[in-house]
Amino acid sequence: MTAAAKALHIRLPPLPSIKDVIRLYKLRALKELSQNFLMEPRLIDKIVRAAGHIQNHVVCEVGPGPGGITRSIIQKAPRKLILVEKDGRFIPTLELVADACKDKVDVDIIRDDILKINIAQYIPSDTKVDWFETPPPINLIGNLPFSVSTILMIRWLEMISKQEGPWSFGRVRMTLTFQKEVAERMAANISHPQRCRLSVMCQNWCNVNYKFDIPGDAFLPKPDVDVGVVTLTPLKHPIIKLPFKLVEKVVRQIFSMRQKYSIRGAQTLFPEEVREEMALRMYKMAEIDPVTRPFQIANTEFQRICEAYNEIIQKYPEFENYDYRAPKKKSTADDNLVEQPTGDPQLCL
């Protein structure tokens, strides 16, 4: 069915409301899965509108639960809807919706863990476009459980950096919900109180747009926090054009001592015996003031730090795999040395 042949708005046949579905199927949100059901139709539609034009698009919804957002997506007439749901209790409710639109929208219901599944295998090959073209007609939408949202986002950023998974089809856009504090971190600019590792990582590979808040009392059960809706569109060129693991390591270590001078965290990139010397050399190469706090470092300045670190490990490859968090090697009696501490006490001051 072509886009021209599709109606702009699909009207579903009468279905039980989400509240009725939850009651009829005796569903309850599981705390261990961080489940919260969004009950307000107006806010559900607002999330889907934030994704932009999705008519005749392939849409993958992550964690559809009882199907509130699913219904709103279907009404926008996508070409195909891929539902990835880990909790088998919701499959009958999703099948109910899929059956109601079977002649209008192709719906795949996949019972699997979004952290393990390869979504790309369900996306039609004809949607693929070149990375540098307009984003493909593919959207990821999801009301993410708090327990997996940050882990999933970091994993997806790595896939974006490698143009793998859904991003092998082009710069696939995302519209996702997060705990409000996490959403603020993702969008936080230099010197913002919430600026952290996640801010730099998200903004290095994506254009991050904090759309709006959803109050906690719109969910069942009511979470202790409000929720933020964020859209992310992968950048054609990342700010830091280096491997994901390298960038993540540098940014993570610098933010490991967020309130201290950034040089303190940067020192942990190097073995203790050369720590101060190499960190100062790296900052000099990057032209960064060592007393700058991590949250005061702009994305382009992180670019210079990462490039300087990359130059150093090219010259001294033994530093590349150094892990500050790894257990310290114990000395032997023949060394006539005391056992090394598990951390650098100077860095803990």
pLDDT at 338: 36
Please check the confidence at residue 214 and state whether its pLDDT lies above 50: yes
Distance CA 104, CA 10 (A): 8
Mean pLDDT of 304-325: 96
pTM confidence score: 0.88
Check if the beta carbon of residue 204 is closer than 8 Å to that of residue 240: yes
Q: How far is CA 305 from CA 236, 243, 279, 286, 294, in A?
A: 22, 14, 10, 5, 12
Domain ranges of the chain: 18-234, 244-326
| Count of positions (residues) in the chain | 349
Mean pLDDT (the chain) is 89
pLDDT at 341: 37
Instruction: List the single range of 23-27, 89-93, 196-200, 330-334 with lowest mean pLDDT.
Output: 330-334
pLDDT band at residue 226 under the 50/70/90 scheme = very high
Burial 260-289 (b: 16+ CB within 10 A, else e): eebbbbbbbbbebeebeebbeebbeebebe
pLDDT at 7: 46
Please check the confidence at residue 76 and state whether its pLDDT lies above 60: yes
Mean pLDDT of 257-279: 96
pLDDT at 268: 97
pLDDT at 343: 39
Please identify which residue in the block is written with the tokens 């006539």: 336
Please check the confidence at residue 52 and state whether its pLDDT lies above 60: yes
Please check the confidence at residue 336 and state whether its pLDDT lies above 50: no
Please check the confidence at residue 334 and state whether its pLDDT lies above 60: no
Distance CA 240, CA 308 (A): 12
**What are the structure tokens assigned to 12, written together?**
């579903």
Distance CA 227, CA 264 (A): 33
Given CATH 1.10.8.100, say whether it is the number of domain 244-326.
yes
Residue 243 exposed, middle or buried by CB count within 10 Å (0-12, 13-18, 19+) = middle
Distance CA 162, CA 287 (A): 29
Instruction: List the single range of 6-15, 54-63, 137-146 with lowest mean pLDDT.
Output: 6-15
CATH superfamily, with its number, for domain 18-234: Vaccinia Virus protein VP39 (3.40.50.150)
Instruction: List the single range of 9-13, 51-55, 86-90, 208-212 with lowest mean pLDDT.
Output: 9-13
Check if the beta carbon of residue 223 is closer than 8 Å to that of residue 146: yes
pLDDT at 5: 43
Which residues lie closer than 8 Å to 137 by C-beta, 6 or more apart? 56, 57, 58, 79, 127
- Phi and psi, residue 277, nearest 5°: -60, -50
Check if the beta carbon of residue 54 is closer than 8 Å to that of residue 139: yes
Task: Could you list the beta-strand ranges (E) of the chain.
Answer: 37-38, 58-62, 80-85, 106-111, 138-143, 173-179, 206-214, 219-220, 227-234
Three-state DSSP at 82 gives strand
Percentage of the chain beyond pLDDT 70 is 88
Helix crossing, 244-255 with 197-205: angle to 10°? 150
Instruction: List the single range of 100-104, 207-211, 296-300 with lowest mean pLDDT.
Output: 100-104
pLDDT at 18: 74
